């Protein structure tokens, strides 16, 4: 088992809850969520405009989503390693340039003639996924290291709570204009955010470690060379699984669940995702205060995850009979999975400064990447189990792993982060 060592003569300084690093991280996550959820919101209308049938919209849409999630998985490793080797700010700049260019490119998908538009769409979402992978982990790592430990949970909750409203803005941008313009707006917001980043300074903890030439930083493989570290890493990933079951299955494919429930009016997945993220933003804002009140990250996450489990069962088996009821349950489900910021914070707090950005960036993107087997399992089970039971099987696995991981991972509330992993 590795023994953390405290770096000597630290130069770290602490900031307030509304300091520039926190504000910029929140705005960065706002743009990140806007772009991350945009495909889920425009999936149906954009693929309709490309001439796909309803059945193709389901299968091709799931495939494009999986390409985006695959990009997130690979990008999480890339940006996580760079965050510990080159600094938190280098990731914040590099990632946003990458996904902003990709989102602008997505706005031209209907005009593509040199290859299949759906193939082009998938490739651009893959590139966007690579870029989007860096934003949250680097931002949470930076905020965790510049805030005093007494304010850390509230600070990271503010970042996520404010940032998650990007999904709401994405939905209304599509409604006010169209899906093409929504992609252009996303790219423009990203480039505008670069100007704000200029005034943000690097984390003092990272600066201290970067001056210690003997310290091995950003070694992704080190998560797999020590049993204790590997178990902590896998449990961090496990905690996040229910969040993307709710977003990637229940909300994204809400139109399919609506038909299975016998709802006559067509359900709009974009609207379901928006209401889910309104609840998620509220839950994230509350989760920091819940964690502080309970003096425990684990208890706060377990409480919200249990709420999400109950609302998932209601969603699937309580006989949802109207769009209003379905959208309302998406709102409630969003609140239940509103431990997302706390989950990423736990990932950052579990590991020393020399691996912190790698952990905080790869962990949430590993969870996003696991949407691929979730959607594949859901699609594979639908013919034999039907839509509702196929969703329930995926959910059961996700929540079982999530609750086990939450209850057995080491507590990190109030933990001093100025240490190294050997």
Average per-residue pLDDT for the chain: 82
Contact 347, 293 (CB under 8 A): no
Model confidence at 312: pLDDT above 90: yes
- Residue keyed to tokens 């994230």: 284
Question: Residue 14's pLDDT is what?
Answer: 53
Q: Which residue has the higher pLDDT, 7 or 360?
A: 360
- Residue keyed to tokens 């997505």: 106
Question: Residue 140's pLDDT is what?
Answer: 73
Cα–Cα distance, 144 to 125 (Å, whole number) = 29
**Tens of pLDDT along 104-141?**
999 999 888 889 999 999 999 999 999 888 777 667 77
Cα–Cα distance, 26 to 37 (Å, whole number) = 16
**Tens of pLDDT along 373-389?**
998 999 999 999 999 99
CATH number for the segment(s) 20-197+219-408: 1.20.1250.20
Residue of 29, 191, 220 whose CA lies nearest to 98: 191
CA 315 to chain centre: 22
Cα–Cα distance, 121 to 124 (Å, whole number) = 5
What residues are paired with 5 via a beta bridge?
A: 420
> Taking residues 234-251, what's their average pLDDT?
94
CA 250 to chain centre: 16
Model confidence at 159: pLDDT above 90: no
Residue of 285, 279, 145, 129 whose CA lies nearest to 202: 145
Listed range (157-166, 191-200, 304-313, 337-346) with the worst mean pLDDT = 191-200
Q: Which residues of 222-231 are buried (b: 16+ CB within 10 A; e: fewer)?
A: bbeeeeebee
Model confidence at 3: pLDDT above 80: no
Helix 227-245 / helix 340-349 crossing angle, nearest 10 deg = 170
Model confidence at 58: pLDDT above 90: no
What sign results for the dihedral spanned by CA atoms 227, 228, 229, 232?
positive
Contact 420, 267 (CB under 8 A): no
Give the residue extent of every domain in the chain.
Answer: 20-197+219-408
What sign results for the dihedral spanned by CA atoms 271, 274, 276, 279?
negative
The answer to whether the pTM exceeds 0.85 is: no
Cα–Cα distance, 105 to 120 (Å, whole number) = 9
**Tens of pLDDT along 8-30?**
444 444 555 667 777 877 888 88
Model confidence at 284: pLDDT above 50: yes
Model confidence at 208: pLDDT above 60: no
**According to DSSP H, which parts of 151-212 are helical?**
152-163, 166-176, 179-197, 204-210
**Tens of pLDDT along 178-205?**
899 999 998 888 888 777 766 554 444 4
> What residues contact residue 61 under an 8 Å CB cut-off, 6+ apart?
43, 44, 47
Q: Which residue has the higher pLDDT, 357 or 262?
A: 262
Question: Residue 302's pLDDT is what?
Answer: 95
Question: Residue 198's pLDDT is what?
Answer: 60
Cα–Cα distance, 323 to 48 (Å, whole number) = 22
Model confidence at 220: pLDDT above 80: no
């Amino acid at each position: 088992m590795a023994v953390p060592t405290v770096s000597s003569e630290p130069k770290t300084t602490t900031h307030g809850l509304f300091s520039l690093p926190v504000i910029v991280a929140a705005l960065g996550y706002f743009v990140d969520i806007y772009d991350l959820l945009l495909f889920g919101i425009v999936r149906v209308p954009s693929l309709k405009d490309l001439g796909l049938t309803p059945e193709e919209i389901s299968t091709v849409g799931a495939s494009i989503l999986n390409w985006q999630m695959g990009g997130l998985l690979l990008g999480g490793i890339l940006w996580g390693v760079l965050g510990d080797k080159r600094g938190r700010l280098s990731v914040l700049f590099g990632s946003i340039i990458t996904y902003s260019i990709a989102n602008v490119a997505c706005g031209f998908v209907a005009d593509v003639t040199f290859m299949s538009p759906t193939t082009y769409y998938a490739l651009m979402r893959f590139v966007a996924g690579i870029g989007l992978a860096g934003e949250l982990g680097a931002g949470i790592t930076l905020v965790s290291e510049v805030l005093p430990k007494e304010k850390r949970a509230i600070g990271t909750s503010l970042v996520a709570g404010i940032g998650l409203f990007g999904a709401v803005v994405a939905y209304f941008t599509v409604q006010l204009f169209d899906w093409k313009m929504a992609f252009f707006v996303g790219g423009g917001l990203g480039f505008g955010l670069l100007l704000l980043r200029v005034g943000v300074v690097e984390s003092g903890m990272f600066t201290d470690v970067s001056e210690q030439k003997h310290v091995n930083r950003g070694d992704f493989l080190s998560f797999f060379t020590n049993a204790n570290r590997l178990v902590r890493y896998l449990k961090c990933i496990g905690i996040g699984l229910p969040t993307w079951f709710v977003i990637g299955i229940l909300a994204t494919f809400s139109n399919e669940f609506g038909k299975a429930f016998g709802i006559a009016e067509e359900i709009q997945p974009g609207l379901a995702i928006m209401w889910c993220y309104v609840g998620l933003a509220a839950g994230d804002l509350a989760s920091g205060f819940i964690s502080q009140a309970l003096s425990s990250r684990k208890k706060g996450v377990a409480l919200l995850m249990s709420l999400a489990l109950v609302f998932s069962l209601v969603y699937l088996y309580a006989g949802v009979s109207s769009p209003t009821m379905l959208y309302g349950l998406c709102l409630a489900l969003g609140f239940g999975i509103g431990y997302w910021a706390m989950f990423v914070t736990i990932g950052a707090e579990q590991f020393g400064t020399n691996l912190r950005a790698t952990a905080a960036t790869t962990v949430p993107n590993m969870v996003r990447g696991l949407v691929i087997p979730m959607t594949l399992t859901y699609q594979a089970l639908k013919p034999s189990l039907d839509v509702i039971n196929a969703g329930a099987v995926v959910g059961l696995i996700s929540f079982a792993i999530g609750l086990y991981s939450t209850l057995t991972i080491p507590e990190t509330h109030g933990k001093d982060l100025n240490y190294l992993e050997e």
